[in-house]
Structure 1
């Protein structure tokens, strides 16, 4: 077993590979196709995309052409943040399945609690309606698990009020020095697996001299140290890369950071403080 094939168990028993290959900001076409195909060849078994990324068709084709059995690949996609109606969610899900060329996805997430152009605004009633659609999708068997992304504690509590199926995942901004402890603790205490998008702060952590000291100690790259840190906190990282060498390197996570060093790393201030933060996730 490696970090790429070891799994976490979601609250409904579904096994989810502990590392995902993220595709945010990878353009559709050759870039997305080649990146995903290389990631699968390198051993990744969890691919994360979204309707809003506009690359689902390329991702789906790479999965199909990989030659790997469908049940060996965990596929996540997301409902656009702007879609806040029951029927709209059902229609968007159908569009994603068509784009991907799949009969089901392993995980379907609400991309955000508010439209991106209205970050931080209140959409409690719409999110409850949308979650009802998510439950219908889940109950149909076409999504093996459902969850949310960018949801703060208050957003989760709102869903919990009427949910008959609780979210199983909360995918949030999370990297070394910015671990969103309130959201992370609340999510985990309520049975949600926390996923870390941008676990390298879109490259922001790579320039941290402090992290470099620890990376040198373990004989690994700064990126590998930062990803291993996420894993050892029990959180699922979603590294993105298009360079085949970086894709391969991000998969080499089979080392262990000592408890003392993890404590020190968890105490570090923001290691990429110029990186754009989600202001609703304090």
Structure 2
């Protein structure tokens, strides 16, 4: 079975495609339209967007041009991290729906626990108010699932203590060499599905000798190896690609990583932070 027909099942029984398309840093207009169009043509059905990416309107145009029925798609968007009030959440949500040209989202998440310039600040109360508003959208069936992004354990604890719905999804950085074991274990214990942004670590993995050696042995690319590794961990990657050939390459994951090679990948601890968590 192609990876494009495989799903993870969220705690509320919503099916999340195992592979999605990230749209961070795609330029609004022709580039975003082309990339999303190509992804949909290749069979990718999960599009991850955010109002802060300033390309949601182009994402929506590509979706409409595809002619694909809305129910066949999984569309994610994110609440800007500085928005922490009920009124602010509703304003951003309605704007996102208008940008995308849809009347509901499959997943709506808080983009970060705090503004990107103050990620260590105390926004517990604001996160509770914002998340409770997401819960209301969920109960009103305007979103099919809700979640968070880049939340630390203490941030998710805050949500669990004051809100009713356990986040269905947590987006976080996860890739070979940067596996955040404690946070992953925490999410698994609470049945929170993890999505991995920047799963290729901005490409730095492509120079790792162990990754190169195993990829050559399996006759795959380093990118394919990295994505297969993540999916086998029960995590859904959302890689970005701006070229059609790379989009297609990312969908060709019908291979297995032998146990001994997987062990070698676990031993990689390189984490030069050559990527941006703030997406």
TM-score clears 0.5: yes
CA contact (8 A) 1:109 1:148 kept: yes
Superposed CA RMSD in Å reads: 1.2
Q: State how far apart, in whole Å, the 2-side matches of 1:96 and 1:38 are.
A: 22
Q: State how far apart, in whole Å, the 2-side matches of 1:134 and 1:204 are.
A: 35
CA contact (8 A) 1:5 1:44 kept: no
Residue aligning to 1:257:
257
Residue aligning to 2:225:
225
Residue aligning to 1:165:
165
Residue aligning to 1:133:
133
Residue aligning to 1:100:
100
Residue aligning to 1:91:
91
Structure 1: segments with no counterpart, 5+ residues:
none
Q: State how far apart, in whole Å, the 2-side matches of 1:259 and 1:220 are.
A: 17
Residue aligning to 1:156:
156
**CA drift at 1:69:** 1.1
CA contact (8 A) 1:77 1:107 kept: yes
Alignment of 1:20-39 (within 5 A): 20-39=20-39
Residue aligning to 1:209:
209
Does residue 268 (structure 1) correspond to residue 271 (structure 2)? The answer is: no
CA contact (8 A) 2:202 2:275 kept: no
Q: After the TM superposition, which parts of structure 1 deviate over 3 Å for at least 4 consecutive aligned residues? A: 276-279
**CA drift at 1:277:** 6.3
**CA drift at 1:276:** 4.0
Structure 2: segments with no counterpart, 5+ residues:
none
**CA drift at 1:267:** 2.2
Alignment of 1:7-22 (within 5 A): 7-22=7-22
Alignment of 1:21-60 (within 5 A): 21-60=21-60
Query: What whole-Å deviation, never above 9, does each CA across 1:12-40 have from its counterpart, x for those lacking one?
Result: 00001000110000010000000000001
Structure 1 length-normalised TM: 0.96
**CA drift at 1:6:** 0.3
Structure 2 length-normalised TM: 0.97
**CA drift at 1:182:** 1.0
Query: What whole-Å deviation, never above 9, does each CA across 1:99-143 have from its counterpart, x for those lacking one?
Result: 000011100010000101112211111111111101011111111
- Distance verdict in 2 for CA 1:274–1:170, change over 3 Å: closer
Query: What whole-Å deviation, never above 9, does each CA across 1:152-200 have from its counterpart, x for those lacking one?
Result: 1000000000111110000001111101111111011101001000000
Q: State how far apart, in whole Å, the 1-side matches of 2:77 and 2:163 are.
A: 21
SS of structure 2 residue aligned to 1:4: helix
Q: State how far apart, in whole Å, the 1-side matches of 2:204 and 2:19 are.
A: 20
